[in-house]
Amino acid sequence: MARAVIECEHVVTGYPGNPLMRDVSLTISEGEVVFILGGSGCGKSTLLKHIIGQLPTLGGTIRILGQDIATAEGPDRDRLLRTFGMMYQSGALFGNLTVLENILLPLEEFTPFPEPLRRAIARLKLTQVDLLDRADAFPAELSGGQVKRAAIARAMALDPKILFLDEPSAGLDPITSASLDALIKSLSRNLGITVVIISHELASINAIADRALYLDRTVGGVLDQGAPAELRDHSPHPAVRAFFNRAPNPGDLP
């Protein structure tokens, strides 16, 4: 069995004074493509912020590659942060840098590589996301899909072991969305990267998810988890089946 790269044990998520989930426990293994699902506002992005150490949890422990991110400090924490890449929903590219410079930035800061090698890595990353022809463009000149691709390339600049993607296909047309899915799948398959995705796109989930975790506020944690087809047809929870069948719960209808 592949080793666990992310482990959450009895994590209480939310902001001080506004807890969202009271007990999230989950394990994500190396090389998996995992989707975190749940209704709007249930706290998926907040959970992601806890996992990447951007927001302290209200309780419980989160371990990335066996190391507790809450207690890691100084160089240990920096080293841990460099084991994963994060793609924000908006892309969060630096507007005053070109696409290539955006990807060069972490390489310049964190690697001792000479300039030609850094540039070769950055251009290779852009090739992997099929965006080499836009290397010298500024983020404002990119389309929505290109911004997402550039953001994925930047998240991958340091060859992370884990890639976190927050709504990668939100606002994209189905074809661009499908090509992004194919890209994510190929990254996972070819480079062995663990990919954790927050998304509502059923097409993406069905196409590339190895496993999906369904968060629910009423139970305050993971309601159900498994392969998408299994959840759609055999989940004991009506809410999960309803999600996958794109139909509201009969009880929720007015």
Partner 1 sequence: MADVSISLPEELTRGSVETACLDANPQAMYDCAAVRHADGAGLAFLWLLRGQKRLTGTLSAELAKSLEAFDAAQAALPKVTPPPKEPPLVALGRAECELFARWGEAIAYLGETLCAFGTLFRGHFRWGDCGLAFFRCGVQAVPVMMLIGFLLGLILAFQSAIPLQLFGAESFVGGLVGIALVRELGVLVAAILMAGRTGSAFAAELGAMKVNEEIDALETMGLRPVRFLVLPRVLAGTLALPLLSLFVTFAGLIGGGTVMGILGFSGNYYLDQLQLFVDLSDVLGSFCKAFAFGFSVSAVGCWCGLRAGRDAGAVGTATTAAVVTGIVSIALLEGLFSVVFYAMGW
- The residues that touch partner 1, with contacts defined as CB under 8 A, are 95-96, 111-114, 116-117, 120-121, 123-125, 127-128, 130, 132-133, 138-140, 156-159, 191
Query: How far apart are CB 233 and partner 1 at their closest, in Å?
Result: 37
Q: Provide, rounded to whole angstroms, the least separation between the CB of residue 105 and partner 1.
A: 15
Residue 140 has what DSSP assignment?
A: G
Q: Strand 84-87 relative to strand 162-166: parallel, antiparallel, unpaired?
A: parallel
Cα distance between residue 108 and residue 94, in whole Å: 15
- CA neighbor of 141 nearest in space, from 69, 93, 76, 183: 93
> Which residue lies nearer to partner 1 by CB, 82 or 241?
82
Q: What is the dihedral of CA 82, 76, 26, 239, to 10 degrees?
A: -50
Q: Toward partner 1, which CB reaches closer, 70 or 137?
A: 137
Nearest distance in Å: CB 36, partner 1: 25
Q: Of 64 and 155, which CB lies nearer to partner 1 in the complex structure? A: 155
Smaller CB separation from partner 1, 43 or 160? 160
Q: Which two tokens stand for residue 166?
A: 């927050």
Q: Please report how close the Cβ of residue 78 comes to partner 1 at its closest, in angstroms.
A: 15
Exposed / middle / buried, residue 64 (Cβ in 10 Å: 0-12, 13-18, 19+): buried
Minimum CB separation of residue 7 from partner 1 in Å reads 23
Q: Which is nearer to partner 1, 71 or 96 (CB)?
A: 96
Which residues does residue 125 pair with via DSSP β-bridges, in sequence order?
none
